[in-house]
Amino acid sequence: MEKDPPSNTTDGGDDVAVYHIYHNHRDANKSYSIHSLRDSHAPLSVACTADLPTSISRASTLKPQSSNEPALGFWARQKIRAARAKAYDKPGKDPRTETAPYFLHSPKLYFRSPPYTLRKGGNKRAEVVGLLKPNFGWMKWEVQFGDVLKQEGVVDGRGVVNWRYGTKNGEYGTLKGYPEREKRYLGESGKAWFNLQKEIGDTIPEADEKAKPEETVRLRHHTDALW
């Protein structure tokens, strides 16, 4: 990551904001946390390290043994130094989580490629402010903004636009909606939401007017490299 500029202004005097984007490696869906304060400048809370031991036994790093297995050997009982790390990809250990500017959540639906949800906050349950559709092959991105994304039910518990508020393929400038399935596959987003829908049933009517973004921004990667 590049060093922060000495000030928040450019040579022309225009205000700029610098954000640092990091993978949440422990998130199976590879979401991103976006901070105004870079990792190397973020202090690690004392509460995160005060209760950690300075040494642990090798046995604690192994899988639990059953009563039928032989006792651990000499080396397995020896003490080793406990490793300490700034686990910023764990929201519960990151002091910036509650005040993080943005979080980019990647919902997972098998056989579908739903857009990322851009959320204003430090986790995937924060308020949705935009949808990001990547096209990594052509290095293009499309970002859709609108207050309609903040309305309850438009982006459901899976992290996708519900079919009641969107159209099948985003026709006529509307948001693309994703249908609800009778079965949820293991690893898909929205487990709690899916179970709740099974209990309450189909009680939400389809919207008369489909949701449309207020603004669409298309981005493309540009490089001056010569091949």
Q: What is the pLDDT of residues 32-54, one digit of tens each?
A: 888 887 777 776 554 445 455 55
Q: What is the pLDDT of residue 20?
A: 81
Can you give the C-alpha Rg of the chain in angstroms? 23
Q: How far apart are CA 130 and CA 119, in angstroms?
A: 7
Q: What is the pLDDT of residue 226?
A: 46
143-185: pLDDT as tens digits:
999 999 999 889 999 999 999 999 999 999 999 999 988 889 9
Q: How many helices (H) and strands (E) does the chain have?
A: 2, 9
Q: What percent of the chain has pLDDT over 90?
A: 33
Q: How far apart are CA 133 and CA 117, in angstroms?
A: 9
102-122: pLDDT as tens digits:
889 999 999 999 999 999 887
> What DSSP string runs through 115-183?
PEEEEESSSTTSEEEEEEEEETTTTEEEEEE-GGGGSTTTB-TTSSBBTTTSBSS-GGGPPBPBPPPSS
Q: Which two tokens stand for residue 225?
A: 């490299």
Which residue(s) pair with 15 in the sheet? 9
Q: What is the pLDDT of residue 4?
A: 42
Q: How far apart are CA 155 and CA 31, in angstroms?
A: 17
Find tokens 């991105």 and name the residue: 141
β-pairing verdict for 116-120 and 102-105: antiparallel
Residues with Cβ within 8 Å of 24's Cβ and at least 6 positions away in sequence, in order, are: 30, 31, 32, 33, 89, 91
185-215: pLDDT as tens digits:
998 999 999 998 888 876 678 888 999 999 9
Strands (E), the chain: 20-23, 32-35, 55-57, 79-81, 102-105, 116-120, 127-135, 140-145, 215-220
> Per-residue pLDDT averaged across 5-24, rounded?
61
Please, what is the average pLDDT of the chain? 75
Domain boundaries, the chain: 20-44+91-220
Q: What is the pLDDT of residue 149?
A: 95
Residues with Cβ within 8 Å of 49's Cβ and at least 6 positions away in sequence, in order, are: 84
50-76: pLDDT as tens digits:
455 555 554 554 455 555 555 556 655
Q: How far apart are CA 31 and CA 89, in angstroms?
A: 10
- Reply yes or no on whether the pLDDT at 79 is more than 80: no
Q: Which two tokens stand for residue 160?
A: 């996708």
Q: What is the pLDDT of residue 219?
A: 86
Which residue(s) pair with 134 in the sheet? 141
Q: Quote the pTM value.
A: 0.67
Residues with Cβ within 8 Å of 93's Cβ and at least 6 positions away in sequence, in order, are: 45, 48, 87
Which residue(s) pair with 104 in the sheet? 32, 118
Strand (E) or helix (H) holding 198: helix 191-200
Phi, psi of 91 (to 5 degrees): -55, -35
